[in-house]
Amino acid sequence: MLKLMRAPSKYVQGKDALLELYDHVNDLGKSFLFICSKSGFKAAKPKIEKSFDGKDAKIMFEVFGGISSTGEIAKMQKIAKDNHIDVICAIGGGSAIDTAKATAYYEKLPVVIIPTVCATDAPCTGLSVIYHDDGTFSNYIFYPKNPDAVIVDSSIIVNAPVRFLTAGMGDALGTYFEARMCLKTNSPSLENGGITKSAMALCELCYDTLLENGYKAKKAAEQKVLTPAVEAIIEANTYLSGVGADNGGLATSHSVYNGFTALEECEKTMHGELVAFGTLAQLVLENAPMEEVEEVMDFCVSVGLPVTLAEVGVTDKTRVMTAAEKACAPGESIHNMLGDVTPEQLYHAILAADAIGMEYLGK
């Protein structure tokens, strides 16, 4: 397997970054379609209009339906065609981003990602999750390249609800441990390549950045103030986690997330929160040293990420086997673990992780 490294062509981050949007994207075309979430539209539109004011470029905004579904993508493709759009832009969270990436791919246009929350690592990756119009999972699309530009306005991110930032830290927490396992077992990355030293370095930096800045960033974000720690966490959640996972691969943490989507009691739990709990299950499965388990637990508790089943919404433990079975379905990234993991082994690891977490919380 050849080693492979991919990333967005350009990454820009900082206070009021959107005021300079035109300068960073004008090389891509003359007419821009912004596919927006409702809240993203409100947060970003005034700054984007200001940035494009008086410039030789056309901009239009479309608020999309809320899920990255086949129907929604077809609708955006038509708008892009009818208006002779040169560049597709996403404004919002994971769904707006996935809709825009797919629209751009089918229309063979460049794509610019403007996240307005950093709850997941979607902005920098080269793939999308696509749903049917009724909201059920349809398929993944793996793109030949990562986004042309990712522009992160930290002022907008820090004004979003803090839970998004924390969930993003949970998604980023899995990155190092999942990549470390893929490297150990010679499993391919999400881009189906061998894992480079560069990718591993980013994954390690991702974890170190979380440990060093997570708590400080959460406290600052609660006050809606922008500090170096908040900037560090935005970069970890968005760039390090996205490029790290893309080029480092996934293992148990993300399969646990997929498994728990089978339980309706977990519906309100965010992706990154389940990935964090899944990381604890992975550490139990690989029998990681206790110091490492404690380091991860300390981090989770300090920023408010779940360490028990109750915190992810599960009160009836007999339900966990259903999630474990789904997490171990063929094709799941849990099969990148050393040895093969059976649903029963994962079930046991989850219960053990829960027991450690309960004691940790003093329950």
Contact residues: Zn ion, CB under 5 A: 171
Q: How far apart are CA 206 and CA 328, in angstroms?
A: 27
Q: How far apart are CA 94 and CA 66, in angstroms?
A: 10
The least distance separating Zn ion from the CB of residue 352, rounded to whole angstroms, comes to 23
The least distance separating Zn ion from the CB of residue 89, rounded to whole angstroms, comes to 22
Burial class (CB in 10 A: 0-12, 13-18, 19+), 307: buried
The least distance separating Zn ion from the CB of residue 279, rounded to whole angstroms, comes to 11
Question: DSSP readout, 267-325?
Answer: TTS-HHHHHHHHHHHHHHHTT--HHHHHHHHHHHHHHT---SHHHHT---GGGHHHHHH
The closest residue (CB) to Zn ion is 171
The least distance separating Zn ion from the CB of residue 246, rounded to whole angstroms, comes to 11
What count of other Cβ atoms lies within 10 Å of the Cβ of residue 319? 18
- By beta-carbon proximity to Zn ion, the closer residue of 110 and 278 is 278
- By beta-carbon proximity to Zn ion, the closer residue of 59 and 250 is 250
- By beta-carbon proximity to Zn ion, the closer residue of 171 and 246 is 171
Q: How far apart are CA 47 and CA 99, in angstroms?
A: 22
The residues with which 152 forms a beta bridge, in sequence order, are: 13
Contact 165, 157 (CB under 8 A): yes
The least distance separating Zn ion from the CB of residue 275, rounded to whole angstroms, comes to 5
- By beta-carbon proximity to Zn ion, the closer residue of 107 and 273 is 273
The residues with which 34 forms a beta bridge, in sequence order, are: 61, 89
Name the token pair of 236.
Answer: 């970890």
Q: How far apart are CA 225 and CA 230, in angstroms?
A: 8
- By beta-carbon proximity to Zn ion, the closer residue of 171 and 191 is 171
The least distance separating Zn ion from the CB of residue 120, rounded to whole angstroms, comes to 5
Residue type, 334: I
Which of 266, 253, 256 has the alpha carbon at shortest distance from 310? 266
The least distance separating Zn ion from the CB of residue 210, rounded to whole angstroms, comes to 14
- By beta-carbon proximity to Zn ion, the closer residue of 218 and 271 is 271
- By beta-carbon proximity to Zn ion, the closer residue of 99 and 125 is 125
